[in-house]
Chain A
Amino acid sequence: MAKKSATAATADRLLQFYRDMLLIRRFEERAGQLYGMGLIGGFCHLYIGQEAVVVGMQAAIGPGDQVITAYRDHGHMLAAGMEPNGVMAELTGRSGGYSKGKGGSMHMFSREKNFYGGHGIVGAQVPLGTGLAFANKYRGNKHVSLTYFGDGAANQGQVYESFNMAAVWKLPVVYVIENNQYAMGTAITRSTSETHLHKRGVSFNIPGEEVDGMDVEAVHAAGQKAVAWCREGNGPYILEMKTYRYRGHSMSDPAKYRTKEEVQEMREKHDPIEGLRARLLKLGGVDEAALKQIDKEIKDIVAISAEFAQTSPEPDPKELWTEVYA
């Protein structure tokens, strides 16, 4: 096969980004619906609005690189290549879920896809992700750990304990701060003295930069640079993704702490999926019909996952007692 031109390769990549972001969006909408039907219980934190961050970052890493995040994790898992069926069935607490129904929305893992969870305690994943990077350095395997956390988590002390160790020991970890500007009902300006979170590495000599997290291409470019920096043995890197969640913090949050106009503005003017869709059409090479076809394919994948999540049986009662110890 003839080598594709650079622009054709770019177009292919953008189309893949479109597909990946749309899968997360449609998956999350469906999860919200299943929650509404009582099929998903407990907390359920949707990722709608932030899709460009994980899709762009995932495309910047390679086989063997690890990913770890907090409880707003469905998008990270889908981006990491985990099966929609297994993720959705975990949300409904069924045996076909990634944790056999024992972990739920906030606690899912895939050794195969190098996804290290899903963690419910704000900030706790940051030392863990740093530890994954430590293992990479220890083994000399050149892999990089992507450690995601939120603007709220950025105030936890263990984040800075991690920064210091990562910098002193030159650990290959990209700290991806998903600054969606709210931690539950607290706007970042109310909780945080320095709101430009990429500067938080300054006193540890960790380079950091701010990225438009609603633009998947910008995320991807920044991600490639940061990952290369880590892979070359220069130590950690901080990327502050400016992003936005459209829904409440979790399903039961009415989000009264921000105006409808603010949300509307983000949805209408900065939506990562709509933005890329417009760009794809402008670039040419794909037309409305082709994008509609993708929309339909994604819709089917998500519908199948919802069906699977409802038909997969509940875990066997014996599972209550298994896997407490190895």
Chain B
Amino acid sequence: MSIQILMPALSPTMEEGTLAKWLVKEGQSVKAGDVIAEIETDKATMEVEAVDEGVVSRILIPEGSEGVKVNTPIAELDGEGGAEAPAPKAGAEAPKPAPEPEAPKAAEPVPVPAPAAAVAASPTPDSEIPNGTKFQDQTVREALRDAMAEEMRRDADVFLMGEEVGQYQGAYKISQGLLDEFGAQRVIDTPITEMGFAGLGVGASFAGLKPIVEFMTWNFAMQAIDQIVNSAAKTLYMAGGQMGSPIVFRGPNGAAARVAAQHSQNYAAWYAHVPGLKVVAPYFAADAKGLLKAAIRDPNPVIFLENEICYGKTFPVPVMDDFVLPIGKARVVKPGKDITLVSFSITMGLIIDAAAELAKEGIDAEIIDLRSLRPLDTATVIASVKKTNRLVVVEEGWPICSISSELAAQVQGDAFDYLDAPVMRVTGKDVPMPYAANLEKLALPNLADVIAAAKAALYR
């Protein structure tokens, strides 16, 4: 019985890799668990182990081959014995997700589509960036790392603390290189003890240090939320202004791919609820950089919500000595006159795509990126609604007591007479995140939902 060995996916988002090295030769026998090859991905080199017993009859992909797609047969094994065992068919098809027009690539488990390249590459320039500034392409990951590095160079009181931020270079590689540059005194690996190190960070901030506390993901900050709300957010007030907490809590927020209910939750509305906190949730790399620098300098506790799926996205970032953006200001990414589409973080990709689709039907949508959630820049949204008279708010989180319900309330209060249609909301479904691929897709907002909401607001 001949068994095909396939190019494995070694992470939830891997699509292809380099077959770096074969550790077996044709004719060699292997047993389950033997390491047979090394594969390189953009993040790491990994070993591939045999699952079946047998003799390597053919090597199909030579070592050194780059760009080998996941599930390509890379070798053949002549299995011994188990001929009648119903081994899973090599190359068995991956479950086909329900066909959806906006799905990026069938094999890619990223639940939200990438933004339309045209808008993403040339968003309306930020008013903080002087004319003539040069831009360089950077991933969000690099922009965040640079922001921390620049602030750590600038201010010796700034330090980074969290699980795996040092030697491992960050669970999601955001702190790549920082341990090398700043040493173990300022880039600190913690035990898994979120309540402890969040509280320790707040205490250090009372004493005047400026901690950046990384949560591996915001799901784990639930262990620490008491210190964030009761200690960090309220102390300035309780102390009559004598002392406060200049601290940044940061990490990936929201759904990642297929990690299910306990690891896929969006905390935007949770923290935006709390007086004393500032909350930032950028989408573009430039905003990630400029706002993280601002957060580190801010004398208040700042919740900095990143997104795992966006870490690898590339956007232009201004090349400036010290690029700092104001917290609390939304940005009009693209002006338009027919309808206002508002979002933040990963779902910006959805409204950018939706605007492109609507444009094909002659609908000119204005796109607004909130960027900050507290303070919430309702003025920018209201000014836009006064022009377009229609509003769709899109977010990944749950609908009840959400950012979109807050905006709907504020807009109906301040621009009631300007609205030509009810404020439409597109949100994550009101359920815990399911694991199954088809259900996960249904749980998250998608492009069709946004277009439908926009058309409903336009009565089309």
Residue ranges of A at the interface with B (Cβ–Cβ < 8 Å): 25-26, 29-30, 32-39, 41-43, 48, 90, 92-94, 99-107, 119-123, 152-153, 155-157, 183-186, 190-192, 246, 248, 251-254, 256-257, 267, 296, 299-300, 303-304, 306-307, 310, 314-315, 317, 319-321, 324
Contact = CB atoms under 8 A, between A and B. Distances in A.
Contacts of B259: 42-43, 104, 106, 120
B9 A42 contact: no
Interface in B171-216: 171, 189-193, 195-196
B2 interface: no
Nearest to B46: A254
A198 B450 CA distance: 55
Interface stretch (B137-145, B217-225, B317-325, B379-387): B217-225
B4 to A, nearest CB: 11
A36 to B, nearest CB: 3
B279 to A, nearest CB: 22
27 contacts: A25-B33, A41-B109, A41-B257, A42-B12, A42-B258, A101-B435, A102-B435, A104-B259, A105-B435, A121-B223, A123-B192, A123-B223, A152-B192, A156-B192, A185-B164, A185-B167, A186-B163, A190-B189, A246-B33, A252-B10, A252-B44, A254-B46, A296-B82, A299-B82, A303-B86, A306-B88, A319-B439
B81 A37 contact: no
A156 to B, nearest CB: 6
Contacts of A106: 259-260, 262-263
Among A38, A92, A191, A307, find the residue whose CB has the most chain B CB atoms closer than 10 A: A38
B434 interface: yes
Given A26-B32, A35-B8, A103-B260, A317 B43 contact: no
A114 B179 CA distance: 45
A315 B436 contact: yes
B419 interface: no
Contact of A157 (B9, B81, B193, B438): B193
Interface of B: 6-12, 14, 32-33, 43-46, 48-49, 51, 70-71, 81-82, 85-89, 91-92, 94-95, 107, 109, 163-164, 167-168, 171, 189-193, 195-196, 219-220, 222-223, 256-263, 429-432, 434-439, 442-443
Contact of B223 (A36, A102, A156): A156
Contact of B43 (A29, A32, A105, A252): A252
Given A38-B70, A156-B223, A256 B44 contact: yes
Contacts of B438: 93, 314-315, 317
A157 B220 contact: no
Contacts of B88: 30, 33-34, 37, 303, 306-307, 310
B429 A320 contact: yes
Contacts of A183: 191-192
Given A36-B8, A37-B94, A101-B435, A303 B71 contact: no
A314 B437 contact: yes
A102 to B, nearest CB: 5
B92 A35 contact: no
B377 to A, nearest CB: 33
Nearest to B429: A320
The 9 closest A-B pairs by CB, nearest first: A36-B8, A104-B435, A41-B258, A42-B258, A252-B11, A101-B436, A120-B262, A254-B44, A93-B436
B45 A254 contact: yes
Contact of A251 (B11, B94, B95, B109): B11
A192 B82 contact: no
A90 B436 CA distance: 8
Contacts of B45: 254
Contact of A119 (B109, B223, B262): B262
A317 B439 contact: yes
B222 A39 contact: no
A36 B168 contact: no
Given A42-B257, A320-B443, A36 B9 contact: yes
B261 A107 contact: yes
B219 A121 contact: yes
Contacts of A304: 86
Given A48-B33, A103-B260, 16 more contacts: A30-B88, A37-B6, A37-B94, A38-B71, A41-B437, A42-B263, A94-B436, A101-B439, A120-B262, A121-B219, A153-B192, A186-B164, A300-B86, A303-B85, A303-B87, A320-B439
Contacts of B443: 320
B224 to A, nearest CB: 10
Given A296-B81, A321-B431, A39 B189 contact: no
Given A37-B94, A104-B258, A155-B192, A32 B436 contact: no
A37 B431 contact: no
A43 B193 CA distance: 21
Contacts of B189: 186, 190-191
A49 to B, nearest CB: 10
A313 to B, nearest CB: 9
Contacts of B220: 121-122
Nearest to B259: A42
Nearest to B91: A37
B12 A37 contact: no
B446 to A, nearest CB: 13
A248 B11 CA distance: 12
Question: Which of B9, B48, B163, B436: most chain A Cβ within 10 A?
Answer: B436
B85 A299 contact: yes
Contact of A42 (B71, B81, B87, B435): B435
A42 to B, nearest CB: 3
Contacts of B71: 37-38
B191 A191 contact: yes
B400 to A, nearest CB: 12
Most A-side CB within 10 Å, residue of B6, B10, B82, B434? B434
A122 B192 contact: yes
Given A37-B9, A121-B222, A307-B88, A184 B168 contact: yes
A240 to B, nearest CB: 17
A107 B260 contact: yes
